[in-house]
Amino acid sequence: MTIRLKRHSVLPGFGLALGYTLLYLSLIALVPLSGIFFKTAAMNWDEFWNTATAPRALASYRLSFGAALAGALINAVFGPLVAWVLARYHFPGKRVVDALVDLPFALPTAVSGLALAAVFSANGWIGRFLEPLGIKVAFTPLGVVVALTFIGLPFVVRSLCPVLEDLEKDVEEAAASLGANRLQIFWRVILPSLRPALLTGFSLAFARAVGEYGSVIFIAGNMPMVSEIAPLLIVTKLEQYDYAGATAIAAVMLVASFLLLLIVNLLQWRSSQKTA
């Protein structure tokens, strides 16, 4: 005689839990975001197109998405190195270094921007050494990349650290005993295990960088057509009471960000399927 025990769940049933989930997401995300499209709908197509594709707007799109991509790629290269050191080595001051990685999470964005502008200005701690070399960081597009790299680093490192801690060293030692060199071990043994987490960290860093405002405006210089990011252009139009123009640019940013994140998530899903 078989006795089937009824499984009890701490959370409510699927229907109720799904209903609460959809309600919460609607109130927090879908309703506010849909307001952008409703406000933009007040414009006719020609007005929307002229606003969204104005030279100043196109320049801000290029800087926002280009700098965000550059910052995320830099973190995708150097973030794994930081995560490897934190996950695999024990050294004096490790807790301090670990806390420094999370510093961009804790600092107000305005404080981050002021600190970066002070450090990379012509008479700053780092800027004074770069200035004689003809490298100007503060108040240039390069400063935007530096700021977005700074705020995106924790996303990559924190995505990779748990994976590296769970990755068995025996696999690396077995590959080394079979004659694999360090590059082959990294490329064929370690990287395939890290790829899904690395893509996750990259997408999070990129998404955060696209919408970053506070840490950028103090170091960017905010020159139209040169170092003006799209979020700043939206704020500028709001200050001019051009609400329709602001929502038009916001709608373009929203759609472009969604499509890019969708592509990254598809790549992440394919990578996880290959490693499964």
DSSP the chain: ---PPPP--SSPPHHHHHHHHHHHHIIIIIHHHHHHHHHHTTS-HHHHHHHHT-HHHHHHHHHHHHHHHHHHHHHHHHHHHHHHHHHH---TTHHHHHHHHTHHHHS-HHHHHHHHHHHHSTTSTTHHHHGGGT---TTSHHHHHHHHHHHHHHHHHHHHHHHHHHS-HHHHHHHHHTT--HHHHIIIIIHHHHHHHHHHHHHHHHHHHHT--HHHHHHH---TTTT--HHHHHHHHHHTT-HHHHHHHHHHHHHHHHHHHHHHHHHHHHHHHHH-
Task: Answer yes or no: is 185 within a domain.
Answer: yes
**Mean pLDDT, range 197-222, rounded to an integer:** 89
pLDDT classification of 15: cutoffs 50, 70, 90: confident
Number of domains comprising the chain: 1
Task: Answer yes or no: is 144 within a domain.
Answer: yes
Task: Answer yes or no: is 3 within a domain.
Answer: no
Instruction: Indicate the range of 58-62, 75-79, 133-137 predicted with least confidence.
Output: 133-137
pLDDT classification of 183: cutoffs 50, 70, 90: confident
Task: Answer yes or no: is 45 within a domain.
Answer: no
How confident is the model at residue 11, as a pLDDT? 62
What CATH number did the domain enclosing 80 receive?
A: 1.10.3720.10
Task: Answer yes or no: is 152 within a domain.
Answer: yes
**Mean pLDDT, range 134-148, rounded to an integer:** 92
Query: Does position 1 have pLDDT exceeding 60, yes or no?
Result: no
- Boundaries of domain holding 109: 55-275
How confident is the model at residue 4, as a pLDDT? 55
pLDDT classification of 10: cutoffs 50, 70, 90: low
Task: Answer yes or no: is 163 within a domain.
Answer: yes
Model confidence pLDDT, tens digit, residues 227-257: 999 999 999 999 998 888 899 999 999 888 8
Task: Answer yes or no: is 266 within a domain.
Answer: yes
**Mean pLDDT, range 182-193, rounded to an integer:** 82
Task: Answer yes or no: is 4 within a domain.
Answer: no
How confident is the model at residue 82, as a pLDDT? 93
Instruction: Please give the model's pTM, rounded to 2 decimal places.
Output: 0.85
